[in-house]
Structures are given as structure tokens and as C-alpha cells.
Structure 1
Amino acid sequence: MDRVPQTPPQPQPRPAAALSTGAVARRLGVSPTTLRSWERRYAIGPARREAGRHRRWTPADIARLELMCRLTADGVPPAEAARAALGIAAGERRAGAAAPAPTPGGTGALPLGAVRPECRGLSRAAVRLDAPTVAELLEAALAEHGLVTAWEEVIAPTLHAVGRKWATAGERYVEVEHLLSWQISSALHRIRPAPEPPRTPPVLLACVPGEQHSLPIEALTAVLGQRGLPARMFGAALPVEALHDAVRRTGPRAVVLWAQSRTTADPALARSVAGIEWGLRGARSRPAVLLAGPGWSPDGQAPRTERLYGLRSGLAVIESLAPPRAVTGAAGAEPFAYGS
């Protein structure tokens, strides 16, 4: 008699990973205190706890919280939103349906695409105009990922999503962009720079005349400070003569000019800055001029200028630049590299 073939045991699917309260808070854009308050007041807590009474939130738990966040963002009182979220989840369990996937939604959701969970949490807090939570989430992202990664993978995608949202919604969501921009700028300004090496030429950073968008070069200024590279940030819409004077007075390693739009980018300005000289005759120095921002055309780049693309690569370009050549004055004098 032939043996009946035995069906090999099938591997059991692994249970979905459960998240801590802090991780869920960052994903949803609320504070951990808010989650604990919702659990206490509305019984919308996690399905299980680990040893030591630590809360662990499953995908089904998070889905209920996602729904509650969407409802409260649309103006539903928290108590009603919790009852609705719990009622829908209970109905789905009775019907044998799978728990809804924790995906963003609601009328105020931003078009984010595939991004980090922290990015979704930041966008939700910004849409709610929840400034304290926005500040808390920014600090957490900067502490966990570092400035460069936090900017590229959390902050910048959220800013772009807000911009796309209000561009397609008339004048709506402008307040969201302003609040988010202010909180990002404040977080960047709280980053303390490392001590500057003595007698090291700085990097000058400025928006071209007429340009008001300065956040990207604020981020670059902050990361240069972290690396101990002296930086002089002049902010939005620096007048031409003021820029020329600053270059002559400091003899910089590089000048970064930011232009957000084609209407503000000025190749003639870039050429004029690239032509500025300082130092004694026969040993003149000129700055490296770095053009940053989407306003600069990829064609027709001015001589002695270079484009920057992104915070990480821009930082690498600046770090690779040799400082201006030191010029020796009268006999016995110390060398100097700054302009007059």
C-alpha cells in the first residue's frame, strides 16, 4: 500500500508588530498625553499591555485612532468621534471584516504619498493648527534622525504637501503653511552651533532680492553650524548692494543664493557676486557662488557658479570647498583671509 503523502505544516503568519504609545503619537500627530487621555476618558485604548503595564498598540488599535483623528479634524467632538470609531470597529468584528488599514484620510488630509509615519503625524498636527504638538514632533524628529534626514524625510515632504494642498484649494490652508513654517524655523533656530574655528572664512547665505522663502537655507545654516563651519545668514530678500558689501567685508568661503521661483532668480546677480574680489593686488580671492532652489534655470548657468541640489549634497559641496587663500600683509603680520 502506498503511503499517503503528509502535507507539511504551513508556517503561521506572524502577528503584526505592535507599537509603543510614543511611536503611535508620532504617527498620528498627537501627543502621548492626548492618547492616554483618550484611553482614560473614552476607553479607546490598546487591546493589550506588555509586562510592566506598557501599552502596545496593534494595527487595529491604530486604525480606530486614525478614524478618531479624522473625525476630530473635521470638527466632531472627541466623545462622539470615539463612540463612532469604537462602534465601527465593533460592527466590523461582528461582520467578520478585517480591521481597516491605518491609512490617512478625511477632508483635511494632505497628499503625502509614501512617507515616514512621522511625516503623517506632523501633517495632521499642522492641519489641526496644533502648534504645541507640531513643535514636539519636530523636536522628536530632529533628535531621532538628525537634522539632514529629518529635513529630507519628514520636514520637507510635509512642507511640499501643504504647498500642494493650498495651491489646489484657493486660499484655504495658507494658515497651515504659515504655522508649520514658523514652527520649523523656530526649531532650526534652537539648534546650537558648534564653536567656530578662529579666522575661518564663513559661508554667506541669503535669498535673492524679492525672495521671501528662506526655510531651506535656514536648514543649511543650521547644519553648517552643527559641523562647526562659520555661516552668516541674511534671510529673505537681501538687497543687491547689501549682499555685495557683505561679500567684500567677510571674504567668504562661499555665497549661497536661494531662489524659489524663476521670477526672483537673477543670473546677472550671480555673475556680479562671482566677480567680487578682495585681498592685496596679486593675491586676490573670489567667492564660490552656489545657486540653490528651484528658481534657477539648469541652462545658461553663470560662469564660476555651481548648483546645489538638496541639503545633504549641498553640505557635501560646501565642505569640499577650500577656504580662500590667506594673504600675507606687511612683514611680520599675521596672515588674513577676510576682506576689508
Structure 2
Amino acid sequence: MPDPSGPSGPSGPSGPSGPSHGITTGAVARRLGVSPTTVRSWDQRYGIGPAVRADGRHRRWSPADVAMLEEMCRLTASGVPPAEAARAARAAQAVLPGAAPPEEPRETAPRRAGPGGGLPLGDVRQECRGLARAAVRLDGPAMEVLLRQVLAEHGLVTAWEEIMAPTLHAVGRKWESSGDRYVEVEHLLSWHVSTALRRGAVAGPASPLAPVVLACVPGEQHTLPLEALAAGLAEQGLPTRMFGAAVPAEAIDAAVRRSGPAAVVLWSQARSTAHHALARHLAGTSFGVRGARTAPLVLLAGPGWLGRTPAPGTARPTGLREAIAVISRLYGEPAGGVTA
């Protein structure tokens, strides 16, 4: 392994990716929740760039450079015009104390307010903060890149439970507490999350297995949790039929009778939309040939169902992981890598 502390010979540095040379533009963009194009644009337009470039060409960001970009992100996310934010970020860099080692660029400067773009995130994964910052900046390309990465690196269940859902909840809380602000942030973030989930829920070849019916109860518009479940079931090779938001009770009943599902998942976000009579009715619905008739398991998904004991033939999973495990067991074996 080359010595990162200095030149390895007359040819120059020990390698452009060595710690003493900082991190690449792509790496710093992922950490900050912006696109690499945005980082390069800030460098070209406003001089928010690295002090040293490897071989005079490739950008390598030192801890101090990353701290300057963090300040730029914080200011622009709060509404400061980019040119003015750049001047302030450069001025702040001039008085920053010594930085931490390059391996920990997020800790090189004192923590500033609003590390997630001003959203109430709490103690969450670093990727969650990056996604939040990209959402507040309305940076669609960065959100798409980040979502692809977290799904590839962590898998659907962890990506949803520990990154996507916490960020969506934080945006929702910010919207509720700030009047009409951040509505556009929630809509754009939701659209990108939905796109990422649907990309993972692409239907496979026709399956002889009974499908899983997924639907929001009448009056319920929140579909993203069901989209996450559809993607998770697709990973297990299980067929689904997604009916989306606010499905009338009569339509859900017709869909169940026509498709003969192994399970029906009803999503309710609030107690005001929980339709207990519909759940009981579907749990008692049987189909199939005489002598071998069967009924679907009805999963009551979402916080709207809390407060009542589940009726016979129904189950109330506590989250995405458990829902996938419960449904997978209906098909004869547990989901690979997913436990309740």
C-alpha cells in the first residue's frame, strides 16, 4: 500500500485517491446531498472549489473545502442567492479552525444548525441528511442519484425504513409547522421516492401464484408505503396487484373476487379513514372451487388501524419488514433475508 504521507518518487504523489489528496467531487456530492454537476458549477461560477487539484486537473476536496461547501449548502437551502452564499462561505472558510482528518469530512467544522436543510431529522443516517438537503434545494438529479445508491447499497427494506420514510416524515412535519412552506419540497421528494420504488417493483414473468392485492382504503391518498411493499414483494418474486389511492370499497371487493388473492393489504394513514367493516368483509370473502374454497389474509397496514384488536382473518404488521415476512410465509417459505 503506498505511503499517503508524501511523494513516492520523482513522478509525484502516491496516488490521486490517497487521503492526503482529499476526496473526489462525486464523493463530496454524495455526502452533501447535491449533484456533482452542482458542485462543479459552484466551482466554475463562484470560486467555491478546492484549493489544491491533483495533477493540476482533478478536483480533490480537503476538509476545509468540504466545510466551505457545507456552508454554501446551508445558506442556499435557507434562501440566500448562490452568489451571495458563495461570498459568505468563502469568508467563513477564512476563519475556520483546523480541520479533522480527511476520512471524516463531515466533522471538520463545528456543527451548524439545520444539517438536514432545516428539517427536523434527529438522529438519522448520513444518507438521510443528504436526501433532505437535496429535497430542500429541489435538486431532482441529486435525489435520483442518492435514492439509486441507497437502494443498491442497503436494499429495499433498510432504504425505506431508515432513509426514505424518515426524510418524508421530516418534510411532512416541517410543512405542518410552517404554514404553506415546503409543500413543493414534499411533492418533489415524494415523486422521486415513488419513481425509485416503482423502478424496483417491475413485474416479472407471469406467475401461477395467487397475487397480493394492495389498495388504500376509501378516502386515503398516501400510497408510498404500499409502493414500498410492492417493491419488497417483487424482490421476493411474489406477484402483486397495486390499485393505488382512495379505492372505493366496492372496487376493492370486486378486485378481490376477480383475482383470488393470497393476501389483501389495506393501507390507512389516519383513524378517520380506517374501514373496519371493509376489512371484516374481505376477510370473510371466499373463492375457489367447491370443497376447496379459501379466503385471503387481510393485512391492516398503517397507523390508522391502531386502537382495535384485529378481527379474525386479519393481521396488523408493525412495518414493512414484518409485512413482507408475513406475506412470504403464505407462499410456503420465509422471505430471503427478511425476518419479522
In terms of mean alpha carbon deviation, does 44-53 or 119-128 score higher? 44-53
1:144 corresponding residue in structure 2: 153
1:174 corresponding residue in structure 2: 183
2:315 corresponding residue in structure 1: 306
Task: Decide which structure has the larger Cα Rg and report it.
Answer: 1
Match of 1:251 among 260, 270, 273: 260
Match of 2:276 among 267, 272, 279: 267
Q: Post-superposition shift, 1:55?
A: 4.1
Amino acid at match of 1:203: V
Structure 2 unpaired stretches of 5+: 1-18, 99-106, 333-340
2:214 corresponding residue in structure 1: 205
Q: Post-superposition shift, 1:22?
A: 2.2
Q: Post-superposition shift, 1:46?
A: 3.3
1:61 corresponding residue in structure 2: 65
Q: Aligned partners of 1:233, 1:16: CA distance in 2, in Å?
A: 51
Amino acid at match of 2:122: G
Amino acid at match of 1:294: P
Q: Post-superposition shift, 1:75?
A: 3.0
CA RMSD after TM alignment: 2.6
TM-score of the aligned structures, taking structure 1 as reference length = 0.82
Amino acid at match of 2:278: L
Q: Post-superposition shift, 1:65?
A: 0.9
Match of 1:297 among 306, 310, 319: 306
Deviations 1:37-81 (A, max 9, x none): 222333332355567965443443222111111212233232322
Secondary structure of 2:251's aligned partner: helix
Q: Indicate the structure whose relative CO is greater, using CA pairs within 8 Å and at least 6 residues apart.
A: 1
Note closer, same or farther for the CA distance 1:161–1:19 as it changes in structure 2 (3 Å cut).
farther
Structure 1 unpaired stretches of 5+: 1-14, 324-340
Note closer, same or farther for the CA distance 1:16–1:312 as it changes in structure 2 (3 Å cut).
farther
Note closer, same or farther for the CA distance 1:80–1:289 as it changes in structure 2 (3 Å cut).
same
Q: Which runs of 4+ in 1 moved over 6 A?
A: none
Percent identity of paired positions between Structure 1 and Structure 2: 63
Q: Aligned partners of 2:164, 2:316: CA distance in 1, in Å?
A: 22
Match of 2:48 among 8, 31, 44: 44
TM-score of the aligned structures, taking structure 2 as reference length = 0.82
Alignment of 1:311-322 (within 5 A): 311-322=320-331
Q: Aligned partners of 1:294, 1:262: CA distance in 2, in Å?
A: 7
Q: Aligned partners of 1:52, 1:92: CA distance in 2, in Å?
A: 25
2:93 corresponding residue in structure 1: 89
8 Å Cα contact 2:25-2:60 kept in structure 1 = yes
2:131 corresponding residue in structure 1: 122
1:79 corresponding residue in structure 2: 83
In terms of mean alpha carbon deviation, does 119-128 or 45-54 score higher? 45-54
Q: Post-superposition shift, 1:192?
A: 5.3
1:164 corresponding residue in structure 2: 173
Q: Post-superposition shift, 1:256?
A: 0.5
Aligned length: 306
2:337 corresponding residue in structure 1: none
Amino acid at match of 1:60: A
Amino acid at match of 1:117: Q
Deviations 1:246-302 (A, max 9, x none): 111111111011000000012211111100001122221000111110111243211
Amino acid at match of 1:76: V
Match of 1:70 among 63, 71, 74: 74
Q: Aligned partners of 1:21, 1:222: CA distance in 2, in Å?
A: 31
8 Å Cα contact 2:268-2:274 kept in structure 1 = yes
Deviations 1:173-217 (A, max 9, x none): 122111211121122222353524631100000001110001000
